[in-house]
Amino acid sequence: MLLSLLSLVAVALVLGAIWMTSPVNVRRVAPAEVADPGRLERDVRELAGLPGFRCFERPADLERAAVWVKDGLAASGLPVEEQVYGVGDRSFRSFVAHYGLAAGPVLVVGAHYDVCGEQPGADDNASGVAGVLELARILGRARPEIAGRVELALWPLEEPPNFRTPSMGSAVHASMLAQRGVDVRGMLCLEMIGYFSDERGSQRFPAPGMGLLYGSRGDGIAVVGNAASWWFTRRVKLRMAGATGLPVWSINAPAGLPGVDFSDHLNFWQHGWDAVMITDTAFYRNPSYHQPTDTPETLDYRRMAEVVTGVYAAITTL
């Protein structure tokens, strides 16, 4: 009886690990377009180098970043929608570039452009912003045929004190889509995509034993989904892994696992839509998370470009 019980437990653990990590048989294909590391670095340095700190407590500095973000999206040649909303007696702005069919299912790709307090926020989240801007540039230039349409969004107020409140720019965007009855087929959140390390022990995890499944080196990119987004997570992972040599991991786990819902994708989960966070795993890898040391010099723009290339492959083939 004991042996049978242990066998059942072992099988359950193996099946649980397979479900959580979702291994895929990757077939590498030459990407149709590739991201430019030089442009990504330029954008990170410019946004992180703006005067002041683009946080909720510094409205003039955050507005300066909003102007920079809007100009960057508009430079792609794609039409840009501005979403203005109020928090108290102040106004904040999100920006959404549109590509594809005027009607049809929507895939949202977004990143937040604010920071937590007085720090430059190169990885968190100038890296995600730079990724969205590069995707807009490639789409505007290559004009690929896609199913439905893509919304490339840049939002304010992801960081505290607004995190998990209706004041998040992504929460406002998601609510607008729901009110309009838009068919949202999925959402990709770019949350810290520029920090990598080949050192053993550089990758940490929220639960014991996870290193046995993913390894101890912070040399890959993670696609993070909830249980309901399992199939969507797998499809995104498969397309990203096929377009890049970078290790692409995935995890589907409850929001109660610390970090799983720590960004804008949580606002799309709340509406029942598939959504994933694409991330270098933030504070589980980057020692400069929410610190003044989160500077452009600490990022790996070659590998960051691999991430963006993989995301482009995903959004054009999903």
CATH number at residue 283: 3.40.630.10
pLDDT of residue 16: 63
Does 40 score more than 90 pLDDT?
Answer: yes
pLDDT of residue 117: 96
pLDDT of residue 134: 98
pLDDT of residue 28: 85
Name the residue among 114, 111, 116 with its Cα closest to residue 133.
111
8 pLDDT band (50/70/90 cuts)?
low
Beta-bridged to residue 273, according to DSSP, are none
pLDDT of residue 55: 98
The CA distance from 183 to 48, in Å, is 35
pLDDT of residue 171: 98
Q: Is residue 255, in this structure, part of any structural domain at all?
A: yes
How confident is the model over 131-140, as pLDDT tens digits?
999 999 999 9
Average pLDDT over residues 121-125: 98
Q: Is residue 197, in this structure, part of any structural domain at all?
A: yes
Q: Is residue 46, in this structure, part of any structural domain at all?
A: yes
Q: Is residue 156, in this structure, part of any structural domain at all?
A: yes
Distance of CA 296 to the CA centre of its chain: 18
Number of structural domains the chain divides into: 1
6 pLDDT band (50/70/90 cuts)?
low
pLDDT of residue 26: 80
The CA distance from 28 to 245, in Å, is 8
Q: Is residue 8, in this structure, part of any structural domain at all?
A: no
pLDDT of residue 21: 85
75 pLDDT band (50/70/90 cuts)?
very high
Average pLDDT over residues 67-91: 97
4 pLDDT band (50/70/90 cuts)?
low
Average pLDDT, the chain: 94
Q: Is residue 193, in this structure, part of any structural domain at all?
A: yes
Where is average pLDDT lowest: 2-6, 74-78, 246-250, 292-296?
2-6
| Burial (0-12, 13-18, 19+ Cβ within 10 Å), 229 | buried
Q: Is residue 10, in this structure, part of any structural domain at all?
A: no
pLDDT of residue 29: 85
Does 101 score more than 80 pLDDT?
Answer: yes
Does 10 score more than 80 pLDDT?
Answer: no
Average pLDDT over residues 198-207: 96
pLDDT of residue 147: 86
Q: Is residue 295, in this structure, part of any structural domain at all?
A: yes
| Burial (0-12, 13-18, 19+ Cβ within 10 Å), 21 | middle
Range of the domain at 101: 32-317
3-class DSSP string for the chain: CHHHHHHHHHHHHHHHHHHHHCCCCCCCCCCCCCCCHHHHHHHHHHHHCCCCCCCCCCHHHHHHHHHHHHHHHHCCCCCEEEEEEEECCEEEEEEEEEEECCCCCEEEEEEECCCCCCCCCHHHHHHHHHHHHHHHHHHHHHCCCCCCEEEEEEECCCCCCCCCCCCCHHHHHHHHHHHHCCCEEEEEEECCCCCCCCCCCCCCCCCCCCHHHHCCCCCCEEEEECHHHHHHHHHHHHHHHHHCCCCEEEEECCCCCCCCCCCCCHHHHCCCCCEEEEECCHHHCCCCCCCCCCCHHHCCHHHHHHHHHHHHHHHHHC
